[in-house]
Amino acid sequence: MDNIAGKKSGLTWAVHLATLLLVLLWLFPTVGLLVSSFRTADQISSSGWWASLFPTERNVVMRAADPDDFRVADDDLFVVSGNLFDEDPTVSVATISVWGTSSREISQYTAGETADLGDGATITVQANGDYEWRGPDGEISGRGQRVFATIEAAPEFTLANYEQVLLSGNSTDSMAKAFFNTLTVTIPATIIPIVVAAFAAYALAWMEFPGRALLIAAVVGLLVVPLQLALIPLLKLHLGIGIGKGYLGVWLAHTGFGLPLAIYLLRNYMVGLPRDIIECAKVDGATDFQIFTKIILPLSFPALASFAIFQFLWTWNDLLVAKVFLIDATGETTVMTNQIVELLGTRGGNWEILATAAFVSIAVPLVVFFAMQRYLVRGLLAGSVK
């Protein structure tokens, strides 16, 4: 009785657990990349991205203002006052819990207490960083007094990384320029194969002509042909006819590499549509073109959308085809994947810039995927049930 159709499996919990695990494995690095893109280089090198989501406690060294410029006479003494956080721009505004005047005794004083510096000089440090350094003339001179403190800093993020990546003045080093170049490559390279494959899929699904079975077999065979096998011959052809150094060449290359999957996917979907609808339309005098545009295309939207997702993601994240068919020494047609490679070469240590550039690169595919994911599942399951 355990195998009766419709009875809920006892392993449903395992399926849910595995799905949750896969989601977390995908989500964890993506969230980490997003958080890191808003952090500075010092923050990335000092702690993991998860630590930036909560207040952190760390030891810092700050210095009071230069007494020769800021000291004020107070009876027989001189006073220098201010805020330690304002004096040191590398330390964000935080709360001081304990502090000291020596690196060996950082927790010697609590916030609000006064430290005796000797020879009549004292310094008082408050929790918000305000200080008052007081002493005779000979003791209030030279460089500002150093303060070693343990601070609790709130999460701090910055948009400076995005400003540097997206608003760079150098066109060859601008992710914004590469972003629009990638759109210029991706949108036509997604639309063109869909248009061509839709016509071909309808013909292979519903039109009778000699050699149809051989064409279907050829399409299936092309699915297993490695992309790298056709790069050099295709590039030589493009260079021979003069389209090997611009957008047209890369559009046609992506179209050719994407057509086998597009035709296969759309043909499987269209062949599963009810035959009665097509036959009734023919009885009413509709031509093949009218059937295709008014019946087949609207009903095939899930399959069209699912392939559009595949093609868009593949083209957007492509580096190999862009490297081969977008030959440009000036950087005017550099796409985002190639721009990130350039950043890795010139700024291998600037992880904040690389994280920002990488997240800018994946932001659009994420939006496209989540906006059209329901069509992806429906399109992939097309023809699986008759």
What are the extents of the domains in the chain? 52-153, 163-380
pTM beyond 0.85: the answer is no
The pLDDT-based confidence of 192 (bands split at 50, 70, 90) is very high
Calpha distance 171→184 (Å, rounded)? 16
For residue 188, what pLDDT is reported?
Answer: 94
| Structure-token pair, residue 253 | 């290359």
When computed from its CA atoms, the radius of gyration of the chain, rounded to whole angstroms, is 33
The pLDDT-based confidence of 171 (bands split at 50, 70, 90) is very low
Indicate the angle between helix axes 12-36 and 351-380, nearest 10 degrees.
150
Calpha distance 70→34 (Å, rounded)? 42
Return the CATH number of 163-380, one of 3.30.430.20, 1.10.357.10, 1.10.3720.10, 3.40.50.1100.
1.10.3720.10
Stretch 64-78: mean pLDDT: 79
| Structure-token pair, residue 82 | 């201010």
Stretch 132-154: mean pLDDT: 81
| Structure-token pair, residue 385 | 């049930």
Stretch 182-196: mean pLDDT: 92
- In three-state secondary structure terms, 384 is coil
With contact defined as beta carbons under 8 Å apart, do 343 and 357 qualify?
A: yes
For residue 329, what pLDDT is reported?
Answer: 56
With contact defined as beta carbons under 8 Å apart, do 100 and 109 qualify?
A: yes
Calpha distance 135→137 (Å, rounded)? 7
Q: What angle do CA 99, 43, 22 make, to 5 degrees?
A: 130
Q: What is the DSSP string of 106-169?
A: TTSEETT-EEEEETTEEEEE-TTSEEEEEE-TTTS-SSPPEEEEEEEEPP---SHHHHHHHS-S
Stretch 357-385: mean pLDDT: 71
Tally Cβ neighbours within 10 Å of residue 120. Answer: 14
The pLDDT-based confidence of 172 (bands split at 50, 70, 90) is very low
State how far Cα 299 lies from the chain centre. Answer: 34
Tens digits of per-residue pLDDT, 306-342? 888 889 988 998 888 888 888 765 667 788 888 887 7
With contact defined as beta carbons under 8 Å apart, do 131 and 123 qualify?
A: yes
The pLDDT-based confidence of 8 (bands split at 50, 70, 90) is low
For residue 168, what pLDDT is reported?
Answer: 63
Which of 46-55, 177-186, 201-210, 325-334 shows the lowest mean pLDDT across its residues? 325-334
Q: Name residue, tokens 């972003």.
A: 179
Q: What angle do CA 18, 28, 322 make, to 5 degrees?
A: 105
Q: Give percent of the chain with pLDDT exceeding 90.
A: 7
| Structure-token pair, residue 207 | 């039109």
The pLDDT-based confidence of 190 (bands split at 50, 70, 90) is very high
Q: What separation in angstroms does the CA of 386 have from each of 69, 82, 213, 269, 321? A: 87, 79, 21, 11, 38
For residue 384, what pLDDT is reported?
Answer: 45
Calpha distance 204→182 (Å, rounded)? 33
Calpha distance 346→341 (Å, rounded)? 9
With contact defined as beta carbons under 8 Å apart, do 313 and 366 qualify?
A: no
Among residues 106, 91, 195, 109, which one has the least CA distance to residue 152?
A: 91
Return the bridge partners of 116, or none. Answer: 122
What are the contacts of 296-299 at 24+ separation with CB within 8 A? Answer: 296/202, 296/206, 296/270, 297/198, 299/273
What's the start-to-end Cα distance of the chain, in Å? 27
Which helix (H) or strand (E) segment holds residue 368: the answer is: helix 351-380
Q: Is the pLDDT of residue 187 over 90?
A: yes
Stretch 183-196: mean pLDDT: 93
The residue ranking higher by pLDDT, 34 or 372, is 34
Residue 356 CB contacts under 8 Å (≥ 6 apart), including other chains:
37, 161, 162, 164, 165
| Structure-token pair, residue 245 | 């150094």
The pLDDT-based confidence of 263 (bands split at 50, 70, 90) is very high
Q: Give percent of the chain with pLDDT exceeding 70.
A: 88
Stretch 7-21: mean pLDDT: 80
With contact defined as beta carbons under 8 Å apart, do 364 and 46 qualify?
A: no
Mean pLDDT of the chain: 81
